Amino acid sequence: MKNERRVAATGVRFLVALVVLCAVCAGCAGMPTGRFDTLVAASKAVEMSTAQTDADLVNLTRRFMMFSPAPGPYRVDSFAPVVEVGGARVDFDFGPRLEPRQAALGVLAAYTEVLAAFARKDYGGELDRATLSLGGSVQRLAGHVTTSAAAQQGAGVLATAVNGLGHAITEHMRRAALRKAMDDAAPGVTAIVAYVKEINVLGSTAVTTMRDQVIRKANSLTVGDGMARLQLNEAVEGMIGESNAILAQYKQESTAVEAIAPAHAEIRDAIDRDERAVLEKLTALVAEVKRLQGVYSSLK
């Protein structure tokens, strides 16, 4: 009987040890990296699409100036992006105004690359490069004098949050460090997203203004029904079509960038869940990015 009890006790201890070992192994399982790679890809896709849309807006401004040249005889600056409003000349060059927003998106994309590099344990190579890239992106954003204080502060929050990530050695430490970094970075992500949407609204307002002014200008012209009318129709139709395309792009870009913060929070909460776990917010972000890419390709 004593021998049986010893065997039973040994079996119980073995079972307990096995349960503990399984729990430890579960905690030591490799950190899921695919979701971080997806976040990087989505952030970069929004950054790239926005750059393309901004270029379209600059080209639209050039076409707009054909309808609104400076008064008087032609000069070398007759078609410079300056319009008269109430007798005052107003700068209508939106290229420089859009550059800080593009730099802010660069900061956001670089931040996600740091997270992905850390999740892959590449301390000596990729993580260092990603961290340096983030620092450079933050400096570029700071170099734009028109960048809002909130956006600059948000970029600084992201850089500070991931500073020193490579010091975490064990798997448990890495997971804890990544959670803390993403927690600390969350306000920065929110600030940059808000700034991007703010500039998108500014760009959309400019596009709407140009489109409506072209329509008013075209309606004030006296043109016959011959070739001149067809040429005017083509110019006005092109202006309206491109304007509407850019407005659709900015709208979807705002929707896509807004989906980054919830996906970021969900990934942080799911650090201990393996790659098979379905992340709804991340899936929604991917869907919005695909819609964004579809909007751009369908309007070209």
State how far the alpha carbon of 10 is from the alpha carbons of 1, 14, 24, 247, 253, in Å. 14, 6, 21, 72, 62
* pLDDT (0 to 100) of residue 84: 65
What are the residue boundaries of the structural domains of the chain, listed by start?
1-30, 31-298
Give me the DSSP letters along 95-112: HHHHHHHHHHHHHHHHHH
Q: Are 98 and 54 in contact (CB under 8 A)?
A: yes
168-177 in b/e burial notation, b at 16+ Cβ within 10 A? Answer: beeeeebbeb
The pLDDT-based confidence of 298 (bands split at 50, 70, 90) is: low
- For 20, the token pair is 């503990």
State how far the alpha carbon of 106 is from the alpha carbons of 178, 225, 227, 271, in Å. 21, 50, 47, 24
In terms of average pLDDT, the best of 98-107, 116-125, 229-238 is: 98-107
> pLDDT tens-digit profile of 144-180?
988 999 999 999 999 999 987 766 566 778 888 899 9
Q: Are 107 and 47 in contact (CB under 8 A)?
A: no
Residue labelled with tokens 């804890």: 176
The span from the CA of 183 to the CA of 268, in Å, is 8
pLDDT of residue 299 exceeding 80 = no
List residues bridging with 289 in a β-sheet.
none
* pLDDT (0 to 100) of residue 97: 85
> pLDDT tens-digit profile of 22-64?
333 334 456 778 899 999 999 999 999 999 999 999 999 888 8
